[in-house]
Amino acid sequence: MKPIIRGMGVLLKAAPFLLCPVLLSAQAANPPIDKGDTAWIIVASALVLLMTFPALALFYGGLVKKKNLLNTMYMSFAAAIVVSILWVAGMYSLIFNGNELIPGIIGAFDKAFFNGIYAADQGMAMPWAGANVTSGVPENVFSMYQMTFAIITIALVSGAVAERMRFGAWLLFTVLWSLIVYAPLAHWVWGGGFLAKMGVLDFAGGLVVHVSSGISALVAVLMIGKRKSKDETLPGNIPYVVIGAGLLWVGWFGFNAGSAISANGLAGNAFAVTNTAGAVAALTWFVLDWIFTKKPTIIGAASGLIAGLASITPAAGYVTVGAAMAIGLGGSLLCYFMVAVAKKALKYDDALDAFGIHGISGIWGMTATGIFASSVIQPAAKGLLEGNAAQFGTQLLAILAGIVLSVVGTIICLLIVRIFTPWTVETKVEDAGLDYAEHGETTEQY
C-alpha cells in the first residue's frame, strides 16, 4: 500500500508537466536581488492598485447619478477583491509561465497558488520572455505588480454597464472575463505567447488593458441594452470625477514607468512621455470643448487626460517625447469624436465611455507604436517612420487578434452569466437607484 501511495504522490507532483506541453527554452539561473528595482516595483504596484480603488471608483462614481454612486464604486472595489483571489489561485500561472497548456495560447497551472515563487531573496528567471532573460526583481513582487493590471482592466469595463447591471451578474462576469479574455490575451502579448513571438510592442497594456476592456465594454453594451430610466443623467458628483482623474494621473506613472521592471532610464522615459501625452490630450479636449460648446468643461479636460494616458500606454517604452505629443493629440481628437459625435449618432449606451475612450485610445496607441517606435529609446524597436513596415503590420495584426478574442470571449461570458441571473435590474429598480436596491445603502446615510 505504501509504494502505491508514494507513487501517487510522485504523479501528483508531476501532473502539471504531464498534462501540458513544456516549452523547451534554456532557463537562466536566478540573479541576485536588486533592492532599488524591487523597491520601485513595490511602489509601482501600489500606484497601479490605487488606480482602481479609489481612483477609478471615484472617477466613475462621480459620473453617474447620485443614487447609483455606491454601486458604481463597488464594481471597481469588487473587481479588486475578486481578481486578487483569482490571480493567486491560477491566473498568474496561466499568463507568466515557461510551461504552456496550449502552446502559444495559454500557460499551465504549475504555479497555481504561487507554487515555487516564495523565495524573496533572489531575482527571477523569465523563461516566458526567452532564454537567459532575468530580472533583479523577485517573482513574488513581479507577480503582484502584474496582478494590479488584471484588476484595473476588468474594472474599466464596468463603466459601460453602470447604472443597470445586476451586482451578482457583474461578479460572475468578472470571474469569467478575467479567465476567458484577460488571461489568454496577456499570455499572448506578455507571457511568451504567439503575439510575443511575432514581436508585438505593447509596453504597458494598450492591447492587453485598453483594447480588451474597451471592445468588451462595447459588446456588453450592445448585448445587455440601454438604461431604461428616463430621469436626469447629469453627473452626480463632479468633484469626485476630478479627484479620481487626478489620482489616475498619478497612478499612471506606476502603470507605465513601472513596466520597465527596473529603476532605470527606460522607466524615466516612460514617465516623461506619459505625462506629456496626458497633458497634450487634456489641453486638446478642453480646446475642443471651448470651440464646440463655448465652455471648457473640467469633465472634458479629465476625459482628454485619460484618453492621452491610455494612448501612450503601449508606446511609453518605445517613443520620444516629441512622438508622445503627437500620440496625445491624436488620441484626444479620436476619442472626442467618438464620445461627442459617433456615440450620439449610433445611439449606443456606453454609460461612461469605456469604449469611446479606452477602446479607441488603445487601438490608436497600438497603431501609433507601430508608427513612432524609435531605436533611440530601444535599439530593437523601430516603427514605420524608421522604415520598419513589418512592425506596423504586426501591431495591426495584434489589434485584430485582441478584438476577436475580446468580442468572442465577452459574448461567451455574458451568455454564461445569463444562465444564472438576468444581466440587468428591473426598470423600477433603475428608477429608484441601484445603491439601496442592490446594497441596502445610500449616500444620504452619511
- Report pLDDT digits (tens) over 131-156: 778 999 999 999 999 999 999 999 99
**Taking 60 as the threshold, does the pLDDT of residue 60 lie above it?**
yes
Residue 424 within any structural domain of the chain:
yes
Reported as a single tens digit per residue, the pLDDT across 339-384 is: 999 999 999 999 999 999 999 999 999 999 999 999 999 999 999 9
CATH of the domain at 307: 1.10.3430.10
CB 296 within 8 A of CB 286: yes
Average pLDDT of span 120-141: 87
Q: Tell me the three cell numbers of residue 377.
A: 529609446
> Is 295 contained in some domain?
yes
Residue at 22 is within a domain: no
Q: Is residue 95 part of a domain?
A: yes
Whether 87 is covered by a domain: the verdict is: yes
Tell me the C-alpha to C-alpha distance, in Å, between residue 134 and each of 33, 141, 262. Answer: 11, 14, 12
State the pLDDT confidence band at 51, using cuts at 50, 70 and 90: very high
If you average pLDDT over residues 26-36, what whole number do you get? 79
Q: Which of 307, 395, 402 is nearest to 356 (CA)?
A: 307
Q: Answer whether residue 201 is part of any domain.
A: yes
158-176 per-position pLDDT tens digit: 999 999 999 999 999 999 9
| 174-179 own/partner pairs: CB under 8 Å, 24+ apart | 174/78, 174/79, 174/82, 174/83, 175/82, 175/86, 176/412, 176/413, 176/416, 176/417, 177/216, 177/409, 177/410, 177/413, 178/82, 178/83, 178/86, 178/91, 178/150, 178/154, 179/86, 179/91, 179/94
- The confidence score (pLDDT) of residue 173 equals 98
Q: Flag whether 7 is in a domain.
A: no
What's the pTM? Answer: 0.92
- pLDDT tens column, 298-348: 999 999 999 999 999 999 999 999 999 999 999 999 999 999 999 999 999
Ranges 272-281, 387-396, 430-439: which has the least confidence = 430-439
Tens of pLDDT, residue by residue over 219-264, are: 999 999 999 987 766 799 999 999 999 999 999 999 999 999 999 9
The structural domain count of the chain equals 1
The helix (run of H) or strand (run of E) holding residue 70 is: helix 69-86
Omega before 379 within 30 of 0, i.e. cis: no
Per residue in 396-431, pLDDT tens? 999 999 999 999 999 999 999 999 999 999 999 999
pLDDT in tens, 172-191: 999 999 999 999 999 999 99
Per-residue confidence (pLDDT) for residue 28, from 0 to 100 = 60
- Residue 6 is predicted with a pLDDT of 44
Q: Is residue 100 part of a domain?
A: yes
- Residue 314's domain comprises 29-445
For residue 160, what are the contacts with CB-CB under 8 A and spacing of at least 6?
Answer: 217, 218, 220, 221, 350, 351, 352, 354, 355
Mean pLDDT, rounded, of the chain: 92
C-alpha cell at 316: 511609453
**What is the C-alpha to C-alpha distance for residues 119 and 334, in angstroms, rounded to an integer?**
46
**What is the distance between the terminal CA atoms of the chain, rounded to a whole angstrom?**
64
Q: Which residue from 254, 297, 259 is spatially nearest to 275, judged by alpha carbons?
A: 254
Does the structure show a pLDDT above 70 at 22?
no
